[in-house]
Structure 1
Amino acid sequence: MSYILLIIGFVLLIKGADIFVDGASEIAKKFKIPEIIVGLTIVSIGTSAPELAVSIISSLKGSNEITMGNIIGSNIFNTLMVLGITSIIMPIVIKKSSISKDFIITVIVAVLLLVLTFGDLLWGGTSQISTLNGIVLLILCIGYLLLLLLDTKKSNSLVENIESEEPQEEIKILTCIIKILIGVAGVVSGGEMVVNAATNIATTFGMSQKLIGLTIIAVGTSLPELVTSIIAAIKGKNDIALGNVFGSNIFNMLLILGTAASINPIPVLPQLGIDLIFLIVVTLILGGFMFVGKKGNSKLSRKEGLILVLMYVVYIIYIVIRN
């Protein structure tokens, strides 16, 4: 039964992501919203739904000790594996003007999170995300959404000044919304089904719960981002693929951690500081691949994707040894 559920889960994931990307790109066309904005908002929040639900439930129960580790692990997986595997399958075309601002924001938010979480250790305090810090993160999340809104308005004003000679395809907004909802449901339920089935299979083969948590569960919660980005890249929606990753990472740190900490302070293990620093470093390395020495539009090549994947493998080996 576990093997059957595993197959069904993957089918739901792939088909759900396919419908989700179609609905999101049609919304972009309908309202003349840049696809990068759709990727940074609708798609990224949709694929982060599992992490958000788990974090809120954990905080309400007062057992949110693993929240920070899950978010950092998810962001590292997004940065290395999601973009790495996606670019190996289909090299990602990068519009620097579209993504540079969000890349910078991703790095700044990660550094800020490092300071807010571990700054008190310098004065003999404890490492945690306090309720006040959670509120600060939520305020920054609202500010980021407002920034995206301003970018959308600027883009719309530019589009309105360009007369298109092509006949406009009629797009029904209700159909788009239904596609997005069906897509999200398929992605989330499929991801959960894959995680549960894979965990049962791994247990029968004698894998420890710790190793299952570090591998299958960590990967499983990021399967929506992985499959959605791959499908988007294959469909030529590179901005959605990139926006999904950067948007998910930003919302994971601001929205999910902010909401969870506002409900209950999140205690953080000091050793997670190393993982957060690693996240910042690999994000900067990704930035080097995307921006350094490349003029105009660039590509995240298969070779660079392979390097990202190998970095994740090395990280997992380190985590297993450390724990």
Structure 2
Amino acid sequence: MLFSLFLLAIGLIVLVSGGELLVRGASSIALRMRLSPLVVGLTIVAFGTSAPELFISVQSALQGSPDLAMGNVVGSNICNLALVLGCTAVIFPVAVHKDSLKIDWPMTIGSSLLLFLLVQDNLISFLEGAVFVLALAAYTSFIVIRSRRDPRLGEAMLEDADLTEKPSKNIWLDLLFIIIGTLALAFGSEWFVDGAKALALSFGVSERVIGVTVLALGTSLPELVTACVAAFRKATDIAIGNLMGSNIFNILSILGITSIIQPIMVNELIIWEDMIWMLGVTLIVFPMMFIQRKISRIEGFVLLGIYSFYIFTVVQA
């Protein structure tokens, strides 16, 4: 079991590092090609920060472990809106921007419902994956166009992406970052998945349980750390938009691309338990956002309680 935990930890570290290098190199080259920083931030940076989850899901599907692939995505979405948002609000109340109510939440619940409807046959096929990717392309295009029309919104997104407006001075270093980052993602995802599978065997639990708990929490750690640091600095204005954007990307990009590469079989328990929890948490967050235009500390504790109860039910099942 110790070796499984070691493999899991090393895999996660290599994955996160690989994603960072890939984003740095690809962003710099894109800026060198005179793409606007806003477009780079909403495409390359968004994709790069989700690259660890994507590689994990693809690796899991190819290794014949679809429960890890699905559990990772669905569990991460629950974790984002219950654990991460809950922790952030407990540290410092989270203000709700009007765009989170008008755009982010409807898109989040819409993509979640689309996923729930399409998996009723226990499969995400190649064509359904293509639908997800096309929906993501349309959503990203809409956000880019809207942000260009509203300079303040564009500036906020650039600040959130932590993207410089100038490329690096050495293109060969950028290419090296991309190569090393991609290799790190490939090897890191393999180690992480292998560690998760071995951990499931060690504890005698299903891969679905490991997927929605260990994998989901592990891949959500960067978001959790970032959100908590922002909360301590009392800069929580864009926390909800970030987390919902991550949930949208998880479904449309990660499951979309993974199912195009390898169709994903979906466990009944994931459909009728974990996805119901994902939809439920997304619905619960809306009145919290709408009533006072902020997520208070009390509501943060409520979200943490919901996440704790969810994990308890999964582990006890």
Query: What TM-score, normalized to structure 2?
Result: 0.70
| Equivalent residue in structure 1 for 2:253, among 245, 255, 258 | 255
Task: Give the letter for the 1:218 counterpart.
Answer: A
Which residue in the other structure is 1:226 paired with? 224
Which residue in the other structure is 1:116 paired with? 118
| Equivalent residue in structure 2 for 1:97, among 96, 99, 104 | 99
Q: Distance in 2 between matches of 1:91 and 1:42?
A: 30
Structure 1 residue 244: deviation in Å? 2.5
Q: Distance in 2 between matches of 1:115 and 1:89?
A: 36
Query: What percent identity do the matched residue pairs reach?
Result: 39
Provide, for residues 232-273 of structure 1, a one-character-per-residue CA deviation record: whole Å limited to 9, x for no partner. Answer: 333454344323211110011001111111122111112222
Which residue in the other structure is 2:140 paired with? 145
The runs of 5 or more residues in structure 1 that have no matched partner are: 19-23, 119-125, 161-169
Task: Give the letter for the 1:261 counterpart.
Answer: S
1:131–1:264: 8 Å Cα contact kept in structure 2? Answer: yes
Q: Distance in 2 between matches of 1:303 and 1:293?
A: 13
Structure 1 residue 292: deviation in Å? 2.5
| Equivalent residue in structure 1 for 2:241, among 240, 243, 250 | 243
* The structure with more helix, counted as a fraction of residues: 2
Which residue in the other structure is 2:298 paired with? 303
SS in structure 1 of the partner of residue 146 of structure 2: helix
Q: Distance in 2 between matches of 1:269 and 1:72?
A: 12
Task: Give the letter for the 2:111 counterpart.
Answer: V
The runs of 5 or more residues in structure 2 that have no matched partner are: 21-26, 156-163
Which residue in the other structure is 2:168 paired with? 174
Structure 1, 56-65 or 285-294: larger mean CA deviation: 56-65
Which residue in the other structure is 2:23 paired with? none
Q: How many residues align?
A: 287
SS in structure 2 of the partner of residue 238 of structure 1: coil
Q: Compared with structure 1, are the counterparts of its residues 8 and 302 closer, same or farther at alpha carbon in structure 2 (3 Å cutoff)?
A: farther
Q: Compared with structure 1, are the counterparts of its residues 8 and 228 closer, same or farther at alpha carbon in structure 2 (3 Å cutoff)?
A: farther
Q: Distance in 2 between matches of 1:45 and 1:239?
A: 22
Which residue in the other structure is 1:163 paired with? none
Which residue in the other structure is 1:130 paired with? 125
**Radius of gyration: which is bigger?**
1
Question: Does residue 50 in structure 1 map to residue 48 in structure 2?
Answer: no
The runs of at least 4 aligned residues of structure 1 exceeding 6 Å deviation read: 1-18, 157-160
Q: Distance in 1 between matches of 2:281 and 2:154?
A: 35
Q: Compared with structure 1, are the counterparts of its residues 240 and 173 closer, same or farther at alpha carbon in structure 2 (3 Å cutoff)?
A: farther
For 1:147-166, list aligned pairs within 5 A. 147-156=142-151
Task: Give the letter for the 1:88 counterpart.
Answer: V
1:74–1:221: 8 Å Cα contact kept in structure 2? Answer: yes
Question: Does residue 268 in structure 1 map to residue 263 in structure 2?
Answer: no
Structure 1 residue 78: deviation in Å? 0.8
Structure 1, 129-138 or 240-249: larger mean CA deviation: 240-249
Task: Give the letter for the 1:134 counterpart.
Answer: G
Structure 1 residue 104: deviation in Å? 0.7
2:86–2:299: 8 Å Cα contact kept in structure 1? Answer: yes
1:51–1:221: 8 Å Cα contact kept in structure 2? Answer: yes
Which residue in the other structure is 2:291 paired with? 292
Task: Give the letter for the 1:271 counterpart.
Answer: L
2:71–2:216: 8 Å Cα contact kept in structure 1? Answer: no
Q: Distance in 2 between matches of 1:172 and 1:49?
A: 23
Query: What TM-score, normalized to structure 1?
Result: 0.69
